[in-house]
């Protein structure tokens, strides 16, 4: 009888045909003996050994092309990447999901496990495994842990769709992310400071203007083109007619899923001023690097941080914060939630309504305190009565 240092509890013996057969026997009286397919180091053997060592019944496993165990998390990932759900995602979401899922696939179920989650059958997963996996990430960054859980759930959902399992062990598991300020709107003083440092005609000022005066996300700032500018006659709310120059385009967000939301955004005087020094003759994207090339979305985010640092803008103010600045400006100017939705391209008014509620809250509170202040001023202006004895 032979044993293997990497697989405690496993032993082998040679049958009457001269073939080496492995088995697993747990500790304790009454422990059952479980046959293990293949040889140590093979994916079928490792998957069956892991299930047996954890007390689950062994299953016959046949390796797929590429060394993947059938019905494993690695197998689920292959199927997920061919699904309509996956193909509808944009490139940034793809890369983020791949990063999170690969982190899980490369992890071990426990420190002594001889294989990673990539080779483990999905049905083996328990809520305890999920908690143990997420625990160190949650301690450092709840946001990271939540993203990992989202990626893992995509694999579990794939396995359920393939009828490998009918149970989602992550059901009911939630991760609370501490409230943060998110992307902060830029106050006027910082906007003026950025504009004073970066002149019209520079890439910095162009990116800033597209984000602020169109409310564009980073993906749209990077991809907006000159040929998307149109001149159209628009009937205004007061019944008048106005010929406007505007960007007519589809948002990059959800482009693979539904084509992206259609946008028609007027070029305001402030935006026109920022765009006027630029050369339109070569076409292409409005925003170009010093080499005349478009920015990738990731490169634009990094470059914006550098431009802010050069202008002395404190950390925490981003390109997306300029989009929020426009939302605040619109709400404080009396725009409705529907108008803000159409400018910023929100999928529903729920997000746009937040700007309106905050503006109304500030307006109502200020008006109320103004009443108190005026009353006190009138009281102070009254002649004081003198007491005559």
CATH number of residue 293's parent domain: 1.10.443.10
Please give the structure tokens belonging to residue 94.
């793809």
Regarding whether 338 and 315 lie in a shared domain, the answer is yes
Regarding whether 223 and 155 lie in a shared domain, the answer is no
Give, in order, the Cα–Cα distances in Å from 7 to each of 27, 108, 120, 302.
13, 15, 16, 48
Judge contact between 286 and 267, C-beta under 8 A.
Answer: no
Residues paired with 233 in a beta bridge: 243
Regarding whether 96 and 49 lie in a shared domain, the answer is no
Q: Residues 120-139: pLDDT tens digits?
A: 999 989 999 999 999 999 98
Neighbours of 204 (CB within 10 A): 21
Residue 384 lies in a domain: no
Q: What is the pLDDT of residue 24?
A: 83
Residue 33 is part of which domain span?
1-64
Residue 305 lies in a domain: yes
Regarding whether 103 and 48 lie in a shared domain, the answer is no
Q: Residues 274-320: pLDDT tens digits?
A: 999 999 999 999 999 988 999 998 899 999 999 999 999 999 899 99
Regarding whether 124 and 60 lie in a shared domain, the answer is no
Number of domains composing the chain: 3
Regarding whether 322 and 205 lie in a shared domain, the answer is yes
Regarding whether 328 and 249 lie in a shared domain, the answer is yes
The Cα–Cα gap between 183 and 138 comes to 22
Q: Residues 256-281: pLDDT tens digits?
A: 778 889 999 999 999 999 999 999 99
pTM: 0.66
Residue 269 lies in a domain: yes
Regarding whether 343 and 216 lie in a shared domain, the answer is yes
Categorise residue 69: left if φ over 0, alpha if ψ from -120 to 50, beta otherwise: beta
Q: What is the pLDDT of residue 58?
A: 47
Regarding whether 340 and 195 lie in a shared domain, the answer is yes
Indicate the helix (H) or strand (E) that contains 36. strand 33-36
**Rounded (10°) angle between helices 297-310 and 319-332:** 80
Judge contact between 297 and 92, C-beta under 8 A.
Answer: yes
Q: pLDDT band at residue 28, thresholds of 50, 70 and 90?
A: low
Query: Locate tokens 């996956």: which residue?
Result: 86
State yes or no: pLDDT of 180 exceeds 80.
no
**What's the first-to-final CA gap in the chain, in angstroms?**
119
From 180, 210, 236, the end of a domain falls on 180
Regarding whether 193 and 159 lie in a shared domain, the answer is no
CATH number of residue 150's parent domain: 1.10.150
Q: Chain-wide mean pLDDT for the chain?
A: 87
State yes or no: pLDDT of 368 exceeds 50.
yes
User: 291 — phi, psi (to 5°)?
Assistant: -95, 5
Regarding whether 345 and 201 lie in a shared domain, the answer is yes
Q: Which of 45-49, 68-72, 142-146 has the lowest mean pLDDT?
A: 45-49
Residue 134 lies in a domain: yes
Q: What is the pLDDT of residue 343?
A: 93
Q: Residues 338-366: pLDDT tens digits?
A: 999 999 998 888 888 988 888 888 888 98
The Cα–Cα gap between 249 and 224 comes to 8
Q: Residues 62-103: pLDDT tens digits?
A: 555 566 788 999 999 999 999 988 888 877 788 889 999 999
Regarding whether 174 and 106 lie in a shared domain, the answer is yes
From 180, 200, 224, the end of a domain falls on 180
The Cα–Cα gap between 337 and 357 comes to 9
Residue 248 lies in a domain: yes
State yes or no: pLDDT of 55 exceeds 70.
no
State yes or no: pLDDT of 219 exceeds 50.
yes
Q: What is the pLDDT of residue 387?
A: 65
The Cα–Cα gap between 152 and 127 comes to 12
Residue 359 lies in a domain: no
Residue 375 lies in a domain: no
């Amino acid at each position: 009888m032979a044993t293997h240092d990497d697989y405690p509890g496993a032993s082998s013996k040679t049958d009457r045909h001269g073939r080496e057969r492995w088995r697993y026997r747990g500790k304790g009286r009454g422990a059952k003996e479980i046959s293990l397919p293949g040889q140590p180091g093979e994916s079928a053997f490792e998957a069956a050994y892991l299930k047996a060592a954890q007390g689950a019944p062994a299953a016959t496993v046949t390796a797929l092309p590429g060394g993947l165990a059938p019905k494993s998390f690695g197998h689920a990932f292959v199927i997920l990447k061919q699904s309509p759900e996956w193909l509808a995602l944009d490139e940034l979401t793809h890369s983020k999901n791949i990063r999170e899922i690969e982190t899980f696939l490369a992890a071990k179920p426990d420190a002594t496990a001889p294989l990673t989650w990539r080779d483990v059958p999905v049905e083996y997963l328990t809520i305890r495994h999920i908690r143990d996996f997420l625990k160190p990430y949650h301690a450092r960054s709840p946001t990271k842990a939540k993203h990992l859980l989202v990626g893992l759930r995509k694999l579990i959902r794939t396995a359920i769709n393939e009828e490998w399992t009918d149970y989602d062990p992550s059901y009911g598991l939630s991760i609370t992310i501490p409230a943060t300020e998110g992307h902060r709107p830029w106050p006027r003083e910082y906007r003026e400071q950025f504009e004073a440092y970066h002149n019209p005609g520079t890439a910095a000022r162009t990116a800033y203007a597209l984000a602020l005066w169109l409310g564009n996300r980073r993906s749209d700032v990077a991809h907006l083109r000159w040929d998307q500018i149109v001149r159209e006659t628009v009937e205004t709310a007061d019944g008048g007619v106005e010929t406007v120059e505007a960007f007519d385009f589809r948002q990059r967000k959800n482009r693979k899923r539904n084509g992206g939301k259609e946008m028609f955004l007027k070029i305001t005087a402030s935006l026109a001023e920022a765009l006027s020094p630029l050369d339109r003759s070569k076409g292409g994207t409005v925003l170009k690097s010093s080499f005349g090339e478009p920015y990738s979305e990731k490169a634009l985010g990094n470059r914006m941080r550098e431009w802010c640092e050069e202008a002395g803008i404190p950390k925490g103010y981003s390109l997306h914060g300029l989009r929020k600045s426009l939302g605040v400006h619109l709400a404080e100017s009396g725009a409705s939630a529907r108008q803000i939705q159409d400018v910023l391209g929100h999928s529903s008014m729920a997000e746009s309504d937040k700007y309106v509620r905050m503006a109304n809250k500030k307006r109502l509170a200020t008006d109320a305190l103004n009443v108190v202040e005026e009353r006190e001023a009138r009281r102070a202006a009254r002649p004081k009565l003198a007491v005559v004895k």
